[in-house]
Structures are given as C-alpha cells and as structure tokens.
Amino acid sequence: AAKRAGKNQYQFFTQTMQQEISERISLTHDLRSAVDNGELHLVYQPIYRLHDITLIKAEALIRWQHPTRGNIPPGTFIPLAEESGFIIEIGKWVFNEVLHDLSTIDPLRLQGVQISLNISPVQFAHPQHLMAFIKRLERSNIPCELFCFEITEGLLLEPSRVVQDTLKTLKQAGIKLSIDDFGTGYSALGYLKKYHVDYVKIDRSFISNLGEDNYDFILCRSIIQMAHELNMQLIAEGVENAQQENILKVINCDFIQGFLHGRPALFSTLLQQIDQQTLEQLSQPLLIAETK
C-alpha cells in the first residue's frame, strides 16, 4: 500500500509540474498578443519625501488585463517575459507608453517629480533600445533627469563590458539609478558607489515587520546609515502603516513608497496629486502673510 501511495504521489507531482509548464507556455504565448491587443497598461505609484510627505517620484508599474483570466500580476508574467526574451518588447512598450503619457502635458507640470522605470537585467544585455530611449528624450522637451531606472543589485555584481558602458552612458545623459529590492540579494553597498547609484530601495520584506522584528530594525538602520555615508538616499518600499513610518523617521530614512500614502493609479490621478500639491505650496506663503 505504501508503495502504491508513493507511486501516486510521484504521479501527482509530475502532473502538477506538467500543468505548471503548460500554464507557463500558454501565458508566454498570450503575452505576445497582449501588446498588440492593448491588454497592457501602466499605473504610477507615488514616492514621498518622509519628513513632510511631499510627492517627489512615481514608479511606473505594468498591468496586464488578460481577456479570459483577468488581471495577471507582473510578478507572474515578467519572469516569463525575461526567460523568453520578450521583455525587450515589453520594455519598448513601457518607454513608448511613458512618453505618450508625458506628451499629453507640459513636463513643467510635473514640478520635478521623477518617473521611475523598472529595467530588467535582460534589457541591459541588449541595450540598443535603452540608447534609443535616451536619443528620443534628447530630441524632446523632456529632460533625462526626470527619469530614474530601477535595477537589481545582481546587475552590478560582475557587470559585463556592455553593461558597464551602458550604465556609464545612462549616467552621463542624466538618468538617475535606483537599486530595487535591496536586502534580498548580495546586499553589499560598497560596489554600488562605483556605479554612482543615487537611490537604494529597501525591500518590502524588511519593512513589513519593522515594529516587531528587532533584526529587521537593526538591518534597516545599518543599511540607511551606511548608504548615507556613501551619499546615497534611501527609499523604503511597502510602507503600509504609521508604526512603520514612525520607525523609518527615527532611523533617518529619506523617502517612502507604499499603500499608507499612495497606491498605484492612472497617470491622470498622479497629475491630480501633483497639481493639488503645487496649489498647496503656492498658497502657503500667502497664508503666512495673511496671519501676520
């Protein structure tokens, strides 16, 4: 009986594995038509300066509304796109979409709020379309300084010649660099300095238990301290409550991103938030003058 159970178990595993594989193949296939059929769109999540909750950046995040399966999260389809190389096409689509959104407004309306884009390591291995994006910006009225590329620390560990040259060109053009999901990989800050990284984003997994887990607290505090000594600024990801926010203030974090102050939303919503903030800033000196 034990032998039979063992055999069944084995069949069960191969069956789920088989299902998983065909699922991945079918999603990879569907992704190719998703671009042409307009099933993708972008949302923007605000990033705030911690001491006064001023909006200073927004991260563009991709969304896929599948015709029969509904919303498929990027955590599911981005790795498939990376494996198949289709991430290059997705990356081009993201650049086009962002430039389209920005073309609908005067860039001055952003009030210097930077747009952060997630760039896969696969895109760095084939950097022609990254270069094409820079050239397009240089021909437009949108400054390169308005953009920040979010990369993962793995890219900087042992970068190829191509990757090093690409990073150099991006920095020279004025593009800012963020290290995404910091703490989940190698977590060495020293080599980040070499590539003139501007921002380090502490991964959400270290923020979520900040109030309860002393280890996470110590880790975040020392990451922030070391990064500051190397002239980099810190963004905490996934800040969901006031307790996390308060602790981050105590340990001198610079910026926060998370559901507490802002969820990913349409470009029009981001613009509304920026406009409102601009109005508030304009009316502040007036209020002080009136009360004198």
Residues near ligand C2E, by CB under 6 A: 45, 61-62, 73-75, 78, 94, 118, 120, 150, 180-181, 204, 237-240, 257-259, 264
Which residue stretch of 123-131, 132-140, 233-241, 256-264 sits at the interface with Mg ion (rule: CB under 5 A)? Answer: 233-241
Q: How far out from the chain centre does Cα 189 lie?
A: 19
Whole-number minimum distance, CB 138 to ligand C2E, in Å? 22
75 vs 190, beta carbon nearer ligand C2E: 75
In the complex, the smallest distance separating the C-beta of residue 74 from ligand C2E, rounded to whole angstroms, is 3
The answer to whether the beta carbons of residues 56 and 255 sit under 8 Å apart is yes
Q: Is 153 among the residues that bind Mg ion (CB under 5 A)?
A: no
Do 235 and 179 contact (CB within 8 A), yes or no? no
Contacts 24+ apart (CB under 8 A), 60-64: 60/94, 60/97, 60/98, 60/115, 60/116, 60/117, 60/118, 61/118, 61/264, 62/90, 62/94, 62/118, 64/31, 64/34, 64/39, 64/40
Q: Which is nearer to Mg ion, 195 or 206 (CB)?
A: 206
Q: Which of 157, 229 has the CB closer to ligand C2E?
A: 157
Q: How far is the CB of 75 from Mg ion (least distance, A)?
A: 8
Could you tell me how far CA 81 lies from the centroid of its own chain? 17
Q: Which CB sits closer to Mg ion, 47 or 88?
A: 47
Which residues inside 171-200 make contact with Mg ion, applying CB under 5 A? 180-181
- Smallest gap from Cβ 131 to Mg ion, in A, equals 22
Residue 121 or 174: the one with the smaller Cβ distance to ligand C2E is 121
CB of 27 to ligand C2E, least distance (A): 15
Q: Which helix (H) or strand (E) holds 149?
A: strand 147-152
Q: Is 150 in the site for Mg ion (CB under 5 A)?
A: yes
Give helix 128-139 / helix 87-103 axis angle, nearest 10°.
10
The residue ranges that bind Mg ion (CB under 5 A) are 118, 150, 180-181, 237
